[in-house]
Chains A and B, each alone.
Chain A
Amino acid sequence: MANLQVFDQGQKMSAKKKLPYDKALLVSMHKQMCLFRRFEERVGLAYTKQKFSGFCHLHIGQEGLAVGVQGALRESDYMISGYRSHTQAIGKGISPSAVMAELFGKVDGCCRGKGGSMHMFSKEKRFLGGHGIVGGQCPIAAGVGFKIRYSNENDVCVCYLGDAASNQGQFFEAMNMAATWDLPVLFIIENNKYGMGTDIRRTTSVDHLWKRAQAFDMTHSDIDGMNVLAVYEHVSGIVEQMRRDKKPHLLEALTYRYRGHSVSDPGTYRSKEEVEDYQKNRDPIIQLERYLLEQKMASEEELKAWDKEAKEKCKEAEEFADASPNPPVEELWEHVLVD
């Protein structure tokens, strides 16, 4: 039984709760966060090397949320997301190689090169996309929740959206239906403070985005999305409850992206100090590493080795994507309609 300690604004905080986390779980979370970060770093580099083009939105800084949420789910749960979803797709079980190959537009990509950065899908892994129309995924998530109820199943559907997507009408329509009909959808707002280059406070009437749920009498909460264990614990509780009562929930996760909105965004709308503060004091990987060291669950050498392992996996993914051929031109005619 170990105590969870969280760090906020650089200050070490006292343990909130006693948690029965074993070493294996924490190590796997560390490895997964390293994998996500190294993967996105490699994706960013590949983009600058012009291995692929188009839009590319990196998730660096937001790994704690993706890993914490994934840990609270089981394989049969559904997930749907927006356009910043490479790592969520990997978390749901699509291999890094298939995601990298998809980014490169190759035939071994998870969508045979037809989806790209914003459109990762896996029917087998129940990852229902990466979607490029901001907020458009929300009613679709309600439909997945509808099916779960219709078929008397016990899964849940996680629907990620960004802070700015929370101003889309479709999000409100989806919340209304989910709350009215008790559809088991966990809406997670990844609040990284900026909708592209616009501070969310400049476009939004509420100071906390979880307040959006109040209009629908829907349960809601918020969480420090930079703290993987806090996310894991909190979301586990929500999901457990959701499996029992099928009711939706809105979770606002406070997080931060270190890179620009997309790879072409230099991020001139925010200060260097703000970014550095998050990187130095609130980074999800550093926080977990400190905890592992303090609890003597890992040594510096082990942490380095796990990170190296992650780097190696990403290198392999890129080699796989490099080697994969382009899809044949004739395939452009396929997948328009089915028989």
Chain B
Amino acid sequence: MPSLTMREALGQAMAEEMDRDNKVFLMGEEVGLYNGAYKVSKGLLDRFGPKRVWDAPISEGGFAGLGIGAAMVGLRPVVEFMTWNFGIQAFDQIFNHAAKMLYMSGGQFNIPIVFRGPNGAAHMLGAQHSHAYEPMLTNVPGVKVVSVATPYDAKGLLKSAIRDNNPVLFLESEMMYGFKGEVPEGEYVIPLGVGDIKREGSHVTLIAWNKILHKSLEAAEVLAKEGIEVEVLDPRTLLPLDEDLIFASVRKTHRLVIVEETWSFGSVGAQIADRVQKECFDELDAPISRVTNEFVPMPYNENQEHHVVPQVDRIVQAIREVLYI
């Protein structure tokens, strides 16, 4: 099976969907002539021409809204944000317009659009380029939210997102565009709303997504040497959440740790913890433990940043806590 980088996998997904459906177009800052700020759209302008690949002005609210308007009347836009930190300029368009159009119009106007870009802390980008928006994005009915951790998932899920008839908010990571993984040749899609067990285990369930998933897998590896089998679950889609997969895993392991590179208050992890205590109360052998960012804006200093974001040692420690070891 060929090994692709995350950026290649995402680029392939867009190219295949643009080939498949001429209503699909890409718009974003630097996506065309520059080949993408992170080279995700490399080659797309050459291949599809300027009618399908649009370099946008620095107007996130503007071009997000343009995408929504185009989607209302039959096109299927993919809108790239250079980072979701810029994407929040477009929160009015995403939340007040894309998410609510179908509902307000009594079912008349669905919005088939994908908003995609990197999310969360990268490395020494400072407070304004390091926020992670899962808690806000998942708090709005009318959208789907996807967060990807491997090239295989990224390609299959982005293709599904582009074919979806609803607004899909698609979260990537600057740190992972060069990350390699196996991607099969030929057509495949991964349905939205279906999680994935990235490592099987029987002693404790560890839920993580996007790049923190890889630190979680490292933590599982550390503990495996002590004979502790950690089941690592990647929800892949945060909204709608694959609750069945989560409940089944917790019913097997009876212990749960949730790791996220966001802040603790009102987060996806908080939501998962609430759902699990409600549905699996009698199955739990320990309180649910959560590992999150420290509740401060992201510092610039490398060492301070390292301490704010969950690291392998903090994840290992949380697992030991729920195992009482």
Is A24 on the interface with B (CB-CB < 8 A)?
Answer: no
Taking the closest CB of chain A, its distance from the CB of B305, in whole angstroms, is: 32
Q: How many residues of B contact A (CB 8 A)?
A: 39
The reply to whether B62 and A121 form a contact with Cβ atoms under 8 Å apart is no
Cα(A140)–Cα(B107), bound, Å: 18
Is A112 on the interface with B (CB-CB < 8 A)?
Answer: yes
The reply to whether A110 and B103 form a contact with Cβ atoms under 8 Å apart is no
Q: What residue in chain B is nearest A176 (Cβ atoms)?
A: B57
The reply to whether B70 and A139 form a contact with Cβ atoms under 8 Å apart is no
The reply to whether A338 and B165 form a contact with Cβ atoms under 8 Å apart is yes
Is A143 on the interface with B (CB-CB < 8 A)?
Answer: yes
**Residue of B25, B102, B142, B144 with most partner-chain A CB within 10 A:** B102
Residues of B within 8 A of A138 (CB): 65
Cα(A196)–Cα(B59), bound, Å: 27
The reply to whether B104 and A176 form a contact with Cβ atoms under 8 Å apart is no
The reply to whether A335 and B65 form a contact with Cβ atoms under 8 Å apart is no
Cα(A173)–Cα(B56), bound, Å: 11
The reply to whether A177 and B66 form a contact with Cβ atoms under 8 Å apart is yes
Question: Which of A54-62, A122-130, A206-214, A224-232 is the contact stretch?
Answer: A122-130
The reply to whether A176 and B101 form a contact with Cβ atoms under 8 Å apart is no
Residues of A within 8 A of B101 (CB): 129
Taking the closest CB of chain B, its distance from the CB of A295, in whole angstroms, is: 41
The reply to whether B166 and A139 form a contact with Cβ atoms under 8 Å apart is no
Cα(A111)–Cα(B108), bound, Å: 8
The reply to whether A139 and B108 form a contact with Cβ atoms under 8 Å apart is no
Is A147 on the interface with B (CB-CB < 8 A)?
Answer: yes
Is B96 on the interface with A (CB-CB < 8 A)?
Answer: yes
Residues of A within 8 A of B292 (CB): none
- A-B contacts, 14 of them at CB < 8 A, read A128-B69, A129-B109, A133-B97, A136-B96, A139-B69, A140-B68, A143-B69, A146-B66, A146-B70, A170-B61, A174-B62, A177-B57, A334-B107, A337-B144
Given A112-B107, A115-B104, A180-B57, 14 extra CB contacts under 8 A: A111-B105, A121-B104, A121-B106, A132-B96, A136-B96, A142-B66, A143-B67, A146-B70, A147-B73, A174-B65, A176-B59, A177-B56, A177-B63, A339-B165
